[in-house]
A and B are shown apart, each in its own frame.
Chain A
Amino acid sequence: MSSLLAARSQMGISLAFHIVFALVGMAMPVLMVVAERRWHVTGDEIYHELAQRWAKGTAILFAVGAVSGTVLSFELGLLWPGFMRVAGPIIGMPFSLEGFAFFTEAIFLGIYLYGWDRISPRAHLAAGVAVAVSGVASGIFVVIANAWMNTPAGFVIDAGRITDIDPLAAMANPAALSQAIHMTLAAYAATGLAVAGIHASLLLKDSANVFHRRALVIALLVGGPAAVLQPLSGDLAARQVARYQPTKLAAMEALFRTERDAPLVLGGWPDMRIPTTRYAIRIPYGLSLLAFHDPHAVVRGLDAVQRADWPNVPAVHWSFQLMVGLGTYMALVALWAGWVGWKGERGTRSAERRSENGGGAAIAGHRLLLHAITLVTPMGFVATEAGWMTTELGRQPWVIYGVLRTADAVTPMPGLVAPLIVFTLLYCFLGVIVALLLYRQILHSPNVPESLWKFMTPGQPR
Chain B
Amino acid sequence: MNPMLPDVLAGIVIVSLNAYVLLAGADFGGGVWDLLATGPRKESQRHLIAEAIGPVWEANHVWLILALVLLFTCFPPVFAQLGIQLHIPFVLALIGIVLRGSAFAFRSYGGERDDAQRRWGRVFAIASVGTPLLLGAALGAVASGKIGPAEMSDRFWTTYVSPWLNPFGVAVGIFTLACFAFLAAVYLTLEAEDAALRDDFRRRAMGAQLAVIASGVIALALSGGVAPAVQQGLLGAPWATALHILGGGTALVSVGALWRRRWVVARIAAASEVSLILWGWALGQYPFILPPDFTIDGAAAPTFTLELVLGALALGGAVLFPSLYYLFRIFKAKAPASAL
Contact = CB atoms under 8 A, between A and B. Distances in A.
A222 B87 CA distance: 42
B320 interface: yes
Contact of A70 (B72, B97, B99, B152): B97
Interface residues of B, number: 63
Given A89-B76, A111-B327, A426-B95, A81 B83 contact: yes
Contact of B73 (A69, A92, A114): A92
A162 B267 CA distance: 48
Given A63-B102, A77-B80, A87-B76, 5 more contacts: A77-B83, A88-B79, A106-B62, A110-B331, A165-B302
Contacts of B90: 74, 78
A92 B72 CA distance: 7
The majority secondary structure among interface residues of chain A is helix
Given A63-B105, A66-B101, A85-B77, A102 B312 contact: no
Given A63-B104, A84-B83, A430 B98 contact: yes
A73 interface: yes
A106 B324 CA distance: 10
Contacts of A89: 73-74, 76, 301-302, 305
B309 A93 contact: yes
Interface of A: 56, 59-60, 62-64, 66-71, 73-74, 76-82, 84-90, 92-93, 95-100, 102-104, 106-111, 113-115, 118-119, 130, 165-168, 411-414, 419, 422, 426, 430, 433, 437, 440-441
Given A63-B102, A68-B98, A411-B87, A92 B81 contact: no
Given A67-B98, A70-B64, A78 B91 contact: yes
A110 B59 contact: yes
B323 interface: yes
Nearest to B76: A88
B64 to A, nearest CB: 7
Interface centre among A76, A96, A441 (most CB of B within 10 A): A96
Interface centre among A82, A106, A130, A411 (most CB of B within 10 A): A106
B319 A109 contact: no
Contacts of B102: 63-64, 67, 430, 433
A118 B332 CA distance: 12
Contacts of B152: 412
Given A84-B79, A100-B320, A114 B106 contact: no
Contact of B98 (A56, A60, A76, A426): A426
A426 B99 CA distance: 9
Interface string B259-287: 00000000000000000000000000000
Interface stretch (B108-116, B201-209, B241-249): B108-116
Nearest to A83: B80
Contacts of B84: 77, 81, 411-413
B80 A84 contact: yes
Contact of A74 (B68, B70, B309): B68
Nearest to A414: B156
B330 A119 contact: yes
B61 interface: yes
Given A85-B80, A89-B305, A440-B111, A99 B330 contact: no
B137 to A, nearest CB: 16
